[in-house]
Chain A
Amino acid sequence: MTGAKFLRIAAHRIAILCFIAFSLFPLFWLLKVSVTPNELLFSEGIRLWPSRITLDHFRFVLAHSEFPRFFTNSLIVSGLTAIMATILAALMGYALSRFRFRGRLWLAGALLITQMFPIVMLVAPIFKLLSPLGLTNSLTGLVIVYTAFNVPFASFLMQGFFDGIPNDLEQAAMIDGASRFTAFRQIILPLALPGIAATLGFIFTAAWSEMLFALMLISGNENATFPVGLLGFVSKFSVDYGQMMAAGVLALIPACLFFLLIQRYLVQGMTAGAVKG
């Protein structure tokens, strides 16, 4: 190996390590404070790892706070949103991928434009619309809103994955007498499973992360999702950093799990869906 080549490889590795450190450091700090006993947090000052660790903060948050409820609410809302949005996006994406109908490009353009709508502008009117239907302060209301906001991008993702499946497959089934919808369900959907998984994971993390609508539509703790609960917690008990960060670690777990499962499909989905579309 020549010296120049060695230097280049070393620089490359160091740069990658810097990015990894920058990406992980805030999360590491979250974890660190969440396992630091309160008395050490203030007496030891700023150090990378405490001399003694504790799970007390987690125990308190799980047993004596309302976080299990926030967690369940978020899980329900994000899970239902992911399922609903993915089903609808699969239908829409299939239509965009397979049919060449009048208005198709117009439709794709309309989907793209919805991505530019300023969400902050829609929050107030949506509140006013949902209120007479009894859908404010309800998980159902959140699921409907989240599904609508996530479905355009999910449709592009699904279209990209369908584009990657050869057209001949359902043609053959349809010649054998299957209806198009049967062919779609029994042949195309199973082949698109990786794409469906990626879309599910993507929508789940997006819904898990949503804050503005949750803050606006939900009042009280009964139906609060994680952001509403955690922000309330921060303003009420701003002294107990250990508990706040333990709650933060809990909020992180589902989104990160999903993300790690789907991340290798993301580049593929982006190539097909977002960049070309």
Chain B
Amino acid sequence: MTAISSYRTHRPPFRQRIASTLEPWFYCAPVLFLIVAVMLVPLILGISYAFRDIRLLDPFSGGFVGLEHFRSLGQDAAFLRSLKNTLWWTGATVFFQLIFGLTLALLLNTPFRGRGIAQALVFLPWAVPTFLAGLNWAWLFNPVIGPIPHWLAGLGLMEEPSNILADPSIAMWGPIIAAIWWGIPFFAITLLAALQAIPKDLYEAAAIDGASPVQSFWSITLPYLAPVIAITVLLRTVWVANFADLIIVMTNGGPADRTQTVASYIFTQAFTRLDFGYASAVALVLLALLLAYSLVILILRQKLSDRAV
């Protein structure tokens, strides 16, 4: 119980008991109010939009259309393509963010001179506003002012310096590389925090027993990190799948919908076509897929930890 009971011996009068029950809720009330008003109500509205004909600037819209939007979705080639792209975009982005983030966290976990400065510099991309990160990378891929097409041409990987973001076969790598660059620090910070929580004497004991650094990595570091990695990957996957900024800024889904993800498609439907109803239907499908994904992962995790016990 709270501290109050530790020095109060008799049972407090009714009004005081009510007051102390309500006390924490006074502290939480403003946040709760905001979340309900700005997130929960819009979420419910958004779900209802999916079954209605809601077009901005059209006063006659607003009627109930049932599953009409979902039926059109099944025949919407752009949407089906965006589903496939989302898988590719999310998988590649999270995979490389994790690999590089883990490497960086391990590198920063060893003490060395200038570690503070190095840490500030490698975490810096995270501070770069995402719209600017997108523009910056779009400029780097642009053959007029950016070096990357020229380097690729110099290496013989490209016939002549042309815009990578305009080439349908490789355009998706543009936003993916930008997202990796931007997201490595998040993984590194989280994993570094987890690394620093591992008891040091475990490593000392392992060293005395003659374990090599590689062996202690596999038998101490990785098992300790596993839960953090799992939860971070889960959160990041959902987040990256929902993340549309870089794609909207860099390619706007083009060329020919090759970089359109479900998240950017929702934005295009809502923002350019002002078709809120259809956009919400697409969003609901994305939400359902992500919930299903999270559920499967959580169940798998539970099964694995049950087996471990």
> Which residues of A are at the interface with B, using a C-beta cutoff of 8 A?
12-13, 15-16, 19-20, 22-24, 26-27, 29-30, 33, 41-42, 45-46, 88-89, 91-92, 94-95, 98-101, 104, 107, 110-111, 114-129, 144-145, 147-149, 151-152, 155, 167, 170-171, 174-175, 180, 205, 208-209, 211-212, 215-216, 226-227, 230-231, 234, 241, 244-245, 248, 251-252, 255-256, 258-260, 263-264, 266-268, 270-271, 274-275
Beyond contacts A175-B7, A216-B270: 8 other A-B pairs, Cβ-Cβ < 8 A, are A19-B100, A120-B263, A121-B286, A122-B43, A129-B41, A227-B129, A244-B139, A263-B119
| Contact between chains at A245 and B294 (CB < 8 Å) | no
Annotate B236-280 by CB proximity to A: 1 below 8 A, 0 otherwise. Answer: 001100101100110000000000000100110011000010011
Take A92-B27, A211-B245 as given contacts and tell me if A29 and B139 are in contact as well, using a CB distance cutoff of 8 Å: yes
CB-based contact A148/B35 at 8 Å? yes
4 closest A-B pairs by CB: A259-B127, A121-B283, A148-B38, A209-B129
- Contact-size category for B: 35 or more
Residues of the B chain whose Cβ atoms lie less than 8 Å from the Cβ of A245: 139
Residues of A within 8 A of B147 (CB): 29, 46
Q: In the bound complex, do residue B34 and residue A151 qualify as a contact, i.e. CB atoms below 8 Å apart?
A: yes
Per the 8 Å Cβ criterion, residues 23-65 of B in contact with A are 23-25, 27-28, 30-32, 34-35, 37-39, 41-43, 45-46, 49, 54, 56
Partner of B242, one of A88, A95, A119: A119
21 contacts between A and B (CB under 8 A): A12-B110, A15-B107, A22-B181, A23-B124, A26-B181, A27-B128, A91-B28, A101-B24, A104-B24, A107-B32, A114-B35, A117-B43, A120-B267, A121-B46, A216-B271, A230-B131, A241-B144, A255-B129, A258-B127, A266-B123, A270-B189
Cα distance A110–B32 in the bound complex, in angstroms: 10
Give bound CA distance, A252 to B100, whole Å. Answer: 24
Tell me, rounded to whole Å, the shortest Cβ–Cβ distance linking B191 to chain A.
9
Q: Which residues from B are CB-within-8-Å of A121?
A: 43, 46, 266, 280, 283-284, 286-287
Choose one: B34, B121, B124, B140; the contact of A147 (CB below 8 Å). Answer: B34
- Check B126–A259 contact: CB distance below 8 A: yes
Q: Which residues on A sit within 8 Å (CB–CB) of B77?
A: none
Per-position binary interface string of chain B over residues 170-202, scored 1 when its CB falls under 8 Å from any chain A CB and 0 otherwise: 000000000001001000011011101100000
| Consensus secondary structure, chain A interface | helix
| B32: chain A residues within 8 A (beta carbon) | 107
User: How many angstroms between the C-alpha atoms of A171 and B41 in the bound complex?
Assistant: 39
Q: Shortest Cβ distance from B302 into chain A, in angstroms?
A: 16
Q: Which residues of B contact A259 (CB under 8 A)?
A: 123-124, 126-127
- Contact B267 A123, beta carbon cutoff 8 Å: yes
**Complex contacts, A175 vs chain B, CB 8 Å:** 7
Identify which of A126, A215, A268 contacts B42 (C-beta below 8 A). Answer: A126
Residues on B with beta carbons closer than 8 Å to the beta carbon of A180: 23
**CB < 8 Å: which of B27, B108, B127, B137 contacts A255?**
B127
Chain B interface SS verdict (over half):
helix
Check if B266 sits within 8 Å of A120, measured CB to CB: yes
Residue B299 interfacial (CB < 8 Å) = no
- Minimal beta-carbon separation of B8 from chain A (angstroms): 11
With A19-B107, A92-B31, A128-B45 given, is the CB distance from A255 to B123 under 8 Å? no
- Cβ-based interface call for B309 (8 A): no
Asked if A33 contacts B244 (CB within 8 A), the reply is: no
Chain B nearest CB, measured from A226 CB (Å): 7
- What is the distance, in angstroms, from B118's C-beta to the closest C-beta of chain A? 5
CA distance A267 to B283 in the complex (A): 33
Q: Which residues on the A side are within 8 Å of B118 (C-beta)?
A: 16, 20
Given A95-B27, A149-B38, A275-B190, verify A124-B128 contact (CB < 8 Å): no
Beta-carbon contact of B107 and A129 below 8 Å? no
Report B235 CB to chain A, min CB distance, Å.
Answer: 7
CB distance from A276 to the nearest CB of B (A): 9
- Does B38 lie within 8 Å of A126, measured CB to CB? yes
Across-interface contacts of B267 in A (CB, < 8 A):
120, 123, 212
Given contact pairs A19-B104, A29-B146, A256-B127, A124 touches B34 in the complex (Cβ within 8 A): no
The smallest C-beta distance from A238 to any residue of chain B, in angstroms, reads 10
A66 to B251: give the CA distance in the assembly, Å: 25
B49 near A252 with CB under 8 A, answer no
B83 proximal to A (CB < 8 A): no
Chain B residues whose CB sits within 8 angstroms of the CB of A258 once the complex forms:
127
Q: Evaluate whether A88 and B30 lie within 8 angstroms (CB atoms) in the complex, with A227-B131, A230-B132 already known.
A: yes
In the assembled complex, which residues on chain A have CB atoms less than 8 Å from the CB atom of B145?
Answer: 33, 41, 241
B135 within 8 A of A: yes
On chain B, the residues within 8 Å of A152 by CB distance are 31, 35
Question: In the assembly, what is the distance between CA of A20 and CA of B118, in Å?
Answer: 7
Q: Is the CB of A118 within 8 A of B24?
A: no
- Residues of the B chain whose Cβ atoms lie less than 8 Å from the Cβ of A98: 2
Q: Chain B: which residue is nearest A170 at the CB level?
A: B3
- Could you tell me the distance between the alpha carbons of A221 and B31 in the complex, rounded to whole angstroms? 31
Question: What are the residues of chain A within 8 A of B135 when measuring CB–CB?
Answer: 230-231, 234, 244, 248
